[in-house]
Chains A and B, each alone.
Chain A
Amino acid sequence: MALTGIDIFKLLPKTNCQECGVPTCLAFAMKLAAGQAELSSCPHLSDDAKAALGEASAPPIRLVTMGSGDDAFKAGGELVMFRHDKTFFNPCGYALLIDDTSGASEIDGKLKQVNESHFVRVEQDLKADMVAVKCSSGKPETFVEIIEKVKAATSLPLILMSDNPEVIHAGMAVNGEAPLIYGANKDNYEKMADLAKTHKTALAVISDNGIDGLNDLVPKIEALGVKDLVLDPGYRNPKETLQSLVYMRRGALVKKIKAFGYPTIAFPVEETSDEMMETLLAGLYTCKYGSIIVVGNLKPQYALPLYVLRQNIYTDPQRPMQVKQGIYPIGTPNENSPVLVTTNFSLTYFIVTGEVEGSRVPAWMLIQDVEGLSVMTAWAAGKFVPEKIAPFIKGSGIEEKVKHRKLVIPGYLSQMSGELDDELEGWKVEVGPREAADLPAFLKAWSA
């Protein structure tokens, strides 16, 4: 297994010269261990250290960056099989497929989907990551024309798809940025590797017989000097695709098979013609080891659930999602509407606001920042206690919004209501229900 940060640190110069772009040698060692830095960033390594660290510090699954600037998409860099073992680090990317033989209106419709399937949830941007342009026409000029059209509509990185190196060559000429070439197979890999090197582009490796084919082909392409690879086991049915993705992730992380140490690409769009099923298969590969997932539709009713699944799966289990502290109006509350306080743990926030919304009783939700802990955990940690809640309420600005001075606290905190009453001058504390599901009944009966 890779060395720990401390093992690596012992071999570094320990001068903290910062030339690696990190404040200390120790910090650099930690980044190396996590697969978030390259050994070559430290110019002062001894030859011995280089030899010792070279193999060991390479991340088990390479982090491959496609595109640049704000739209750059990073794939790979994963360290665990199961999210509870640590976390999944780099959220998978969704690429919308555009075929160069499609009619203009269909292409315009797809580009619209790319731009419109954009949502904000728990202060995270949920959106598409790439556009895949496929040359089915076989004609470089048609391919180029469509690439130009796509580039005019979106700045997302592109996947250029053709098995013909000439077509890819023509496409690269207009593309400009570093996207992904799809791809190299056992017949064309030498030319494709050349193109990838010339244009400093990532290269997809396409197998014609699953992981065995990749195990054979990847070392040949590595030998030609291409470093950024993306792997396609080549099946177009979910059963074998799942098997391949599981074996590749396990091969790279557990069995140390170097050929599998790259991000993956999966094609729900080519595994079904039903757009509902396509979305579900994209969900399958979101859970199970897809890095780039190519779909044929991102209409919002499909894209939103898919993006939310990715948000769930890639949330760090140690660091729950949080919402911002503040006053959240639910419905259109007025000066006589109820005021409820809870914590900024996103799940608490979602469940409580969901029930309040469902009650159709307009209300003010006061969300206190307790570093994303749930009500009981925050209380136990001394972060959601009268001495902390009172100043938050006073400073929140809610006193300008309502005439009454009644505060509803979560039912589980009934034991602190007296103390909070004393602490929170001018307010009367009311104990709400223990379960969020009972909020609608509670709110309907509430009066200022």
Chain B
Amino acid sequence: MEVKETYNGTIREVTLGVGDKAVVVGGETALSFYTFEGVMPRKPVIAFDVYDEEPADWPAPVVEPYKDVLGDPVKWALKCQNEYGADMICLQLVSTNPTGTNRGAEEAAQTVKAVADAIDIPMIVYGTANVEKDTEVLAKAAEAAQGKNVLMGPIEEDNYKTIAAAALGFQQAGATHSPIDVNMAKQLNILATQLGLNADRIIIDPTTGALGYGLEYVYSVMERLRLAALTQNDSMTQMPIINTIGKEVWKAKEVKVSTEEEPAWGDAETRGIIWEAMTAIALLMAGSDILVMRHPKAVELTRDFMALMA
């Protein structure tokens, strides 16, 4: 009875960070957690969201764990590293958003440097997906984090020339971001590699949708990317995948509404934790290698899940 699938491709291994705490992601030779027919050499990693300014719109369950550090990205990052055992930090430069605080690139880069110097785990640096502003901000950030081997993104089709070049110039890795589309993801990887960024310095950000808010689209795009990578040996899909889950989940209505406002939905904190962990589990099965998350309990559950599956 032969029911095993054979695969002919492998996901690239990408190293992020430096020193003892550097992480490697990728390396799968089968669909994720299909260890019965291929190798998953390591578990996916979890990065904690850290904002470079006090977040305005986080609901209570995710404010609570960080309430003593929310305005201070360095302390915040250290708390994630030391108390919650984060594999990585995802520093989100939200303060640079032109429709918000609109902080300048120089100032944002100082935060990047301060956080990078304070922690010893690897760092992800994310802009606000504002194509023009990110060009400036991420170029400076790449310089500020030189020597730290960070992952920077999102690199878009409209600004890859500058941002991928900055990643290349300062020896950082880049997250290529495309709008939930297999071909556009491939196309952007082709462009970035043609520019000189090595394929093993690229992570795919396929655009994450939370449970109930487009999860099914990213789920299927990731399955299709993985099948192309593993069964068709399609080089430009063989990068590890990152999913920015926290940011999407914690703005969903079902997560924001309090227990009092909607008693029929049950305890709000548990509901939010499950919403985040459930989004994580579905995307892990679809091929995620780096999950960016928020609630420490959701992270713990996701880790417990991976331990059960290993």
Could you list which residues of chain A lie within 8 angstroms of chain B, going by C-beta atoms?
A: 82-84, 116, 119, 121, 211-212, 215, 237-239, 242-243, 246-247, 250-251, 255, 257, 272, 276-277, 279-281, 283-284, 287-288, 299-306, 308-309, 311-313, 315, 317, 347, 350-351, 353-355, 357-358, 433, 438, 441
Distance of A34 Cα from B128 Cα, bound (Å): 46
Interface residues of B in 271-291 (CB under 8 A from A): 271, 273-275, 277-278, 281-282, 285-286
Known: A300-B266, A301-B268, A309-B211. 16 other contacts (CB 8 A): A83-B219, A119-B265, A239-B308, A242-B33, A277-B305, A279-B278, A280-B274, A283-B278, A284-B281, A287-B282, A301-B265, A301-B270, A306-B278, A313-B219, A347-B209, A357-B256
Q: How large is the interface on B (under 10, 10 to 19, 20 to 34, 35 or more residues)?
A: 35 or more
B residues within 8 A CB of A438? 99
Distance of A445 Cα from B291 Cα, bound (Å): 35
A residues within 8 A CB of B20? none
Q: B116 near A: Cβ within 8 Å? A: no
A residues within 8 A CB of B45? none
Q: B68 near A: Cβ within 8 Å? A: no
Docked-complex contact B277 and A280, CB < 8 angstroms: yes
Docked-complex contact B2 and A305, CB < 8 angstroms: no
A residues within 8 A CB of B251? 354-355, 358
Could you list which residues of chain B lie within 8 angstroms of chain A, going by C-beta atoms?
A: 1-5, 33-36, 57, 99-100, 209, 211-217, 219-220, 223-224, 227, 251-254, 256, 264-268, 270-271, 273-275, 277-278, 281-282, 285-286, 301, 304-305, 308-310
Docked-complex contact A308 and B273, CB < 8 angstroms: no
A residues within 8 A CB of B271? 300-301, 304-305
Cβ-neighbour of B3 out of A250, A353, A358 (below 8 A): A250
Q: CB-nearest residue of chain A relative to B35?
A: A239
Docked-complex contact A247 and B309, CB < 8 angstroms: no
Docked-complex contact B309 and A347, CB < 8 angstroms: no
Q: Residue among A116, A287, A358 with the most chain B CB within 10 A?
A: A287
Q: CB-nearest residue of chain A relative to B268?
A: A301
Question: A197 CB to closest chain B CB, in angstroms?
Answer: 28
A residues within 8 A CB of B100? 441
Question: B59 CB to closest chain A CB, in angstroms?
Answer: 10
Q: CB-nearest residue of chain A relative to B221?
A: A84
Distance of A301 Cα from B304 Cα, bound (Å): 20
Docked-complex contact A305 and B3, CB < 8 angstroms: no
Docked-complex contact B278 and A309, CB < 8 angstroms: yes
Distance of A84 Cα from B180 Cα, bound (Å): 13
Docked-complex contact B99 and A309, CB < 8 angstroms: no
A residues within 8 A CB of B224? 82, 84
Docked-complex contact A312 and B219, CB < 8 angstroms: yes
A residues within 8 A CB of B286? 287
Docked-complex contact B264 and A243, CB < 8 angstroms: no
